[in-house]
């Protein structure tokens, strides 16, 4: 099999592995009862994993959890850290991300003593937070215990104050996560306002922010809060101005502190908070849609557990030989992989309609290989919505996302890898996607250079949308060092164009099919068959080229990506040079490694897999390029997955299949 022709299959390897796994290893599989009990929501929260342990429905818009000033680094990407003071309990978070902390907005904290509004209120925890699917609890040293529950677009805070202390809730209108480690990517407050109604049973507000890792321009979150117990008084603050018996506060100054404090004569207080990107009225209706008139935490927790079971856990039967550790790992990983992207259908401020919308693609360049193909297998309804959402983002914002949060595209790392996710959905015959429209979106990535946006780490071209280094790619068939990340971009643009060729073929567009198939061989322009490294007895590596087309030898080491960052030849392409990790075996039983001489002796060269293009001419030389392995949508047609009883289709999909 020619390796290039196998690219869509490589893309599917994680999925195939799952199918295989289940038919072999999990042969004595069964349904696990109460799989939610095996989920440890704190899995992956430490050591740089940055998983969000708080409350979320699968792909839910609300991610309700604590915001901690991490005691070691200050940065808490998901809001959570095991050690450090809590500065808020807020409605929105990302999960598993790096870059810089995002969100941590629409926050509040309970307190008992008087505070100085000029100083940030922070609280210490009495004990470690407790969390499980659908529920989260925090107990503070001030004696206040908090139990949280969340639905899709709103959540419930249940405060238990000590009976002998006063009970106050600070609704911090300017709260957000910041980035002490990387201040240049910190979010900051632009403005905002909050107002309580006359009888103090409800408050509404908005908060506009800016900045963050995607260097977002102004975006606004609206909110609504409903108390089950009427406060006895409200106090407003803005900077150092404090006004008792005043239910309004606002600010237009950058990172100015403003908000309201509600005080109660009871010790058990519940409130529901809804969020919206459209209006505070919509935030209030989101509460009504989620909860009706109830403030029922127990029921909300039960509903969350059923949502997780119905949509995610019930798709699998497993056999772990009664090893609970394996069961824990399996369900914890499954849980953690269904938090992003966030379903924001009906909440897209730039188009405000019911057209499907998802945000928090953070980031597709990490998830296109395994996670998105997994969604397309176990959850085609979501998979279809995610691809249609990327298409709608193209329709309204101009380009599909690569990284996206706060309703704005940015950043892109290498290529436009939404192309690959789209092609994966195409070959799997996922429903709910307007393919002519989706293909237009792919073509724009492949043909139209995105508008320039300055980036201090890579000022050469846009890192916001599409493919910044497109001029080289269109002129030369590869990307030169005129652009940063020229090797990464060349490799990824090749794969992306291959994805276009696949969809073009299926849509009956044979000209485009051939054109993009040829373009997908562009990476071979930077394949230097003579490149070598002193460490291993092997030649042949990708190597950057200068603008004049000659090989770049300075700062070039085939085994290292140098700084491996935005301004380098490769982004994080450091090779794991531990030889045992780099041995691959192909279908014919040949093993090969490009890093280990022992293996190389019995290996075949890359030339045996690829019809290499002539490096001295442009990429028209790919006539003998074979694409016979690809049969349109062969993956779905072969029914590998659908006949495997270990993956339970949505009932809805079963009905469809049977009709
Ligand atoms: C509100 O949050 C912001 C930022 O997250 C912080 O700077 C400010 O001090 C907080 N205000 C209070 C009263 O805690
Ligand atoms: C908080 O306190 C409550 C009541 O005392 C207790 O049931 C719960 O386990 C505590 N939670 C944590 C996280 O310590
Ligand atoms: C409230 O009661 C607790 C426990 O009985 C005690 O530790 C605390 O000091 C009291 N607080 C106040 C403000 O009286
Ligand atoms: C906040 O800023 C946004 C955009 O910069 C503006 O549209 C909005 O009116 C401002 N809101 C307030 C309350 O000042
Ligand atoms: C269960 O699986 C884990 C992870 O593979 C392994 O470390 C452990 O030894 C296993 N436990 C038993 C009792 O087999
Ligand atoms: C996404 O959200 C919309 C609006 O709430 C909802 O109608 C749709 O069913 C959700 N998608 C899935 C797959 O649950
Ligand atoms: C190409 O450019 C590099 C530096 O940019 C230079 O060192 C080299 O001599 C040039 N080669 C040719 C053939 O012009
Ligand atoms: C290979 O791995 C070793 C040990 O992990 C490391 O020290 C070395 O820098 C790596 N790179 C090369 C080019 O050997």
Same domain, yes or no: 242 and 158: yes
Is the CB–ligand 8 distance for residue 560 below 6 Å?
A: yes
Is the CB–ligand 6 distance for residue 342 below 6 Å?
A: no
Calculate how far, in angstroms, residue 92's C-alpha sits from the geometric centre of ligand 2: 24
For atom 1 of ligand 8, the residue with the nearest CA is: 577
- Note whether residue 56 is domain-resident: no
Same domain, yes or no: 469 and 602: yes
Same domain, yes or no: 274 and 354: no
For residues 636 and 429, the answer to whether their CB atoms sit within 8 Å is yes
Residue given tokens 């910041």 in the structure block: 178
Interval 308-350: pLDDT, tens: 999 999 999 888 888 999 999 999 999 999 999 999 999 999 9
- Note whether residue 598 is domain-resident: yes
Same domain, yes or no: 466 and 542: yes
**What is the model's pLDDT at position 20?**
41
Calculate how far, in angstroms, residue 552's C-alpha sits from the geometric centre of ligand 7: 9
Examine the pLDDT at 262 and tell me if it is beyond 90: yes
Mean pLDDT of all residues belonging to the chain: 86
Alpha-carbon distance of 96 to 336, in angstroms, equals 8
Ligand 1: nearest atom to the Cα of 122: 14
Pocket test for ligand 1, best of 84, 91, 115, 120 (most atoms within 8 A of CB): 120
**Average pLDDT score over residue span 412-424:** 97
Examine the pLDDT at 657 and tell me if it is beyond 90: no
- Note whether residue 576 is domain-resident: yes
For atom 4 of ligand 1, the residue with the nearest CA is: 175
**Average pLDDT score over residue span 628-657:** 34
Angle, vertex CA 222, rays to CA 219 and CA 224, nearest 5: 165
**What is the model's pLDDT at position 589?**
53
Which of 24-28, 157-161, 462-466 shows the lowest mean pLDDT across its residues? Answer: 24-28
Q: Please state, for a pLDDT cut of 90, what percent of the chain lies above it.
A: 76
Calculate how far, in angstroms, residue 277's C-alpha sits from the geometric centre of ligand 6: 16
**What is the model's pLDDT at position 94?**
98
Query: What pLDDT band is residue 582 in, cutting at 50, 70 and 90?
Result: low
Calculate how far, in angstroms, residue 239's C-alpha sits from the geometric centre of ligand 1: 10
- Note whether residue 333 is domain-resident: no
Calculate how far, in angstroms, residue 226's C-alpha sits from the geometric centre of ligand 4: 24
| Backbone φ/ψ region at 540: left (φ over 0), alpha (ψ -120 to 50), beta | left
Ligand 8: nearest atom to the Cα of 559: 13
Examine the pLDDT at 422 and tell me if it is beyond 90: yes
Examine the pLDDT at 198 and tell me if it is beyond 60: yes
**Average pLDDT score over residue span 17-36:** 62
**What is the model's pLDDT at position 31?**
84
Ligand 4: nearest atom to the Cα of 252: 14
- Note whether residue 156 is domain-resident: yes
**What is the model's pLDDT at position 270?**
98
Examine the pLDDT at 352 and tell me if it is beyond 90: no
Examine the pLDDT at 372 and tell me if it is beyond 60: yes
Preceding amide of 363 cis, omega within 30: yes
Ligand 6: nearest atom to the Cα of 343: 1
Calculate how far, in angstroms, residue 139's C-alpha sits from the geometric centre of ligand 2: 6
For atom 7 of ligand 5, the residue with the nearest CA is: 325
In this predicted model, which residue has the larger pLDDT, 141 or 613?
141
Same domain, yes or no: 156 and 295: yes
In this predicted model, which residue has the larger pLDDT, 261 or 321?
261
Domain count within the chain: 2
Interval 489-541: pLDDT, tens: 999 999 999 999 999 999 999 999 999 999 999 998 998 888 887 766 667 78
Ligand 3: nearest atom to the Cα of 165: 13
User: For residue 293, what is the domain's CATH number?
Assistant: 2.70.98.10
Calculate how far, in angstroms, residue 559's C-alpha sits from the geometric centre of ligand 8: 8
Q: Please state, for a pLDDT cut of 70, what percent of the chain lies above it.
A: 82
Calculate how far, in angstroms, residue 550's C-alpha sits from the geometric centre of ligand 7: 6
Q: Which of 309, 331, 360 is the last residue of a domain?
A: 309
Same domain, yes or no: 20 and 70: no
Which of 394-398, 405-409, 427-431, 613-617 shows the lowest mean pLDDT across its residues? Answer: 613-617
Same domain, yes or no: 538 and 420: yes
Same domain, yes or no: 71 and 145: yes
**What is the model's pLDDT at position 584?**
54
**What is the model's pLDDT at position 630?**
37
Please count the CA atoms within 13 angstroms of the CA of 414 that sit on its side-chain side. Answer: 26
Is the CB–ligand 3 distance for residue 267 below 6 Å?
A: no
Beta strands in 15-141 (DSSP E): 65-70, 84-90, 107-111, 130-132, 135-139
Is the CB–ligand 8 distance for residue 579 below 6 Å?
A: no
Same domain, yes or no: 91 and 201: yes
Interval 595-639: pLDDT, tens: 443 333 333 344 444 444 443 433 343 433 334 333 333 333 222
**Average pLDDT score over residue span 422-444:** 97
- Note whether residue 258 is domain-resident: yes
Same domain, yes or no: 536 and 465: yes
Examine the pLDDT at 96 and tell me if it is beyond 80: yes
**What is the model's pLDDT at position 651?**
37
Burial 34-46 (b: 16+ CB within 10 A, else e): ebbebbbbbbbbe
Is the CB–ligand 1 distance for residue 257 below 6 Å?
A: yes
Q: How many CB atoms lie within 10 A of CB 483?
A: 21
In which domain, by residue range, is 177 found?
A: 65-309
Tokens of residue 336, six digits? 């953690």
For atom 5 of ligand 7, the residue with the nearest CA is: 546
**What is the model's pLDDT at position 462?**
95
Interval 37-84: pLDDT, tens: 999 999 999 999 999 999 999 999 999 999 999 998 889 999 999 999
- Note whether residue 647 is domain-resident: no
Pocket test for ligand 8, best of 574, 577, 594 (most atoms within 8 A of CB): 577
Calculate how far, in angstroms, residue 138's C-alpha sits from the geometric centre of ligand 2: 7
Same domain, yes or no: 222 and 264: yes
**Sequence-ordered list of residues with C-beta below 8 angstroms from that of 588, at least 6 positions apart, any chain:** none
Interval 292-306: pLDDT, tens: 999 999 999 999 999
Query: What pLDDT band is residue 577 in, cutting at 50, 70 and 90?
Result: low
- Note whether residue 645 is domain-resident: no
CA distances for 632 relative to 60, 428, 511, 581, 635, angstroms: 34, 10, 16, 33, 8
Same domain, yes or no: 419 and 507: yes
Query: What pLDDT band is residue 211 in, cutting at 50, 70 and 90?
Result: very high
For residues 96 and 340, the answer to whether their CB atoms sit within 8 Å is yes
**What is the model's pLDDT at position 566?**
96
Which of 104-118, 430-444, 485-499, 567-581 shows the lowest mean pLDDT across its residues? Answer: 567-581
Examine the pLDDT at 5 and tell me if it is beyond 90: no
**Closest ligand (CA of 126):** 2
Calculate how far, in angstroms, residue 176's C-alpha sits from the geometric centre of ligand 2: 27
Alpha-carbon distance of 79 to 53, in angstroms, equals 9
**What is the model's pLDDT at position 541?**
84
Strand partners, 366: none
The DSSP output letter for 613 is P
**What is the model's pLDDT at position 377?**
92
**What is the model's pLDDT at position 570?**
95
**What is the model's pLDDT at position 576?**
56
């Amino acid at each position: 099999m020619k390796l290039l022709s196998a690219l869509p299959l490589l893309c599917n390897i994680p999925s195939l592995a799952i199918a295989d796994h289940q038919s072999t290893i999990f042969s004595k599989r069964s349904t696990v009862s109460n799989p939610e009990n095996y989920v440890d929501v704190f899995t992956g929260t430490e050591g740089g994993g940055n998983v969000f342990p708080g409350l979320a429905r699968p792909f839910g818009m609300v991610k309700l959890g604590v915001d901690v000033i991490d005691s070691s680094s200050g940065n808490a990407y998901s809001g959570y850290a095991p050690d450090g003071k809590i500065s808020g309990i807020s409605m929105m978070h990302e999960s598993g991300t790096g870059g810089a902390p995002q969100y941590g907005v629409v926050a509040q904290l309970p307190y008992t003593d008087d505070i100085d509004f000029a100083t940030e209120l922070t609280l210490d925890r009495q004990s470690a937070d407790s969390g499980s699917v659908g529920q989260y609890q925090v107990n503070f040293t001030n004696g206040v215990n908090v139990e949280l529950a969340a639905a899709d677009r709103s959540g419930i805070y249940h405060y238990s104050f000590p009976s002998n202390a006063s009970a106050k809730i600070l609704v911090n209108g300017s709260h957000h996560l910041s980035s002490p480690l990387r201040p240049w990517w910190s979010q900051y407050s632009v403005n905002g306002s909050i107002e309580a109604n006359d009888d103090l049973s409800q408050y509404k507000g908005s908060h506009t922010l800016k900045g963050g890792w995607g260097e977002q321009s102004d975006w606004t979150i609206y909110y609504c809060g409903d108390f089950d117990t009427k406060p006895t008084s409200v106090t407003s603050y803005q900077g150092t101005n404090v006004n008792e018996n005043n239910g309004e506060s606002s600010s237009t100054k950058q990172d100015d502190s403003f908000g309201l404090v509600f005080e109660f004569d009871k010790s058990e207080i519940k409130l529901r908070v809804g969020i919206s990107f459209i209006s505070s009225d919509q935030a209030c209706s989101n509460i009504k849609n989620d909860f009706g008139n109830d403030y029922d935490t127990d029921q909300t927790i039960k509903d969350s557990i059923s949502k997780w079971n119905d949509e995610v856990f019930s798709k699998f039967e497993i056999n772990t030989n009664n090893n609970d550790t394996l069961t824990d790992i399996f369900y914890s990983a499954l849980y953690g992989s269904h938090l992003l992207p966030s379903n924001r259908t009906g909440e897209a401020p730039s188009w405000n309609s019911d057209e499907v919308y998802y945000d928090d693609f953070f980031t597709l360049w990490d998830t296109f290989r395994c996670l998105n193909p997994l969604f397309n297998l176990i959850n085609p309804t979501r998979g279809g919505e995610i691809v249609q959402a990327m298409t709608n983002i193209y329709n309204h914002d101009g380009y599909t996302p690569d990284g996206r949060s706060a309703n704005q595209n940015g950043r892109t790392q290498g290529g436009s890898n939404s192309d690959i996710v789209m092609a994966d959905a195409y070959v799997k015959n996922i429903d709910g996607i307007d393919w002519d429209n989706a293909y237009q979106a792919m073509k724009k990535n492949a043909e139209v250079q995105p508008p320039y946006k300055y980036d201090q780490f890579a000022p050469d071209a846009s890192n916001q949308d599409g493919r910044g280094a497109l001029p080289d790619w269109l002129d030369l068939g590869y990307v030169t060092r005129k652009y940063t990340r020229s090797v990464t971009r060349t490799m990824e643009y090749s794969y992306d164009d291959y994805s276009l060729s696949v969809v073009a073929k299926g849509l009956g567009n044979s000209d485009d099919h051939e054109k993009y198939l040829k373009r997908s061989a562009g990476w071979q322009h930077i394949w230097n068959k003579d490149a070598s490294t002193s460490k291993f007895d092997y030649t042949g590596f990708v190597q950057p080229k200068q603008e004049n087309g000659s090989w770049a030898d300075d700062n070039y080491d085939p085994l290292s990506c140098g700084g491996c960052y935005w301004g380098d030849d490769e982004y994080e392409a450091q090779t794991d040079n531990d030889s045992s990790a780099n041995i691959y075996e192909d279908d014919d039983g040949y093993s090969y490694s490009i890093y280990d001489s022992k293996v190389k002796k019995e290996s075949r060269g890359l030339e045996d897999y690829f019809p290499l293009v002539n490096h001295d001419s442009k990429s028209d030389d790919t006539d003998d390029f074979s694409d016979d392995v690809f049969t349109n949508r062969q993956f779905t047609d072969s029914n590998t997955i659908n006949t495997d009883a270990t993956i339970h289709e949505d009932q809805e999909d079963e009905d469809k299949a049977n009709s």
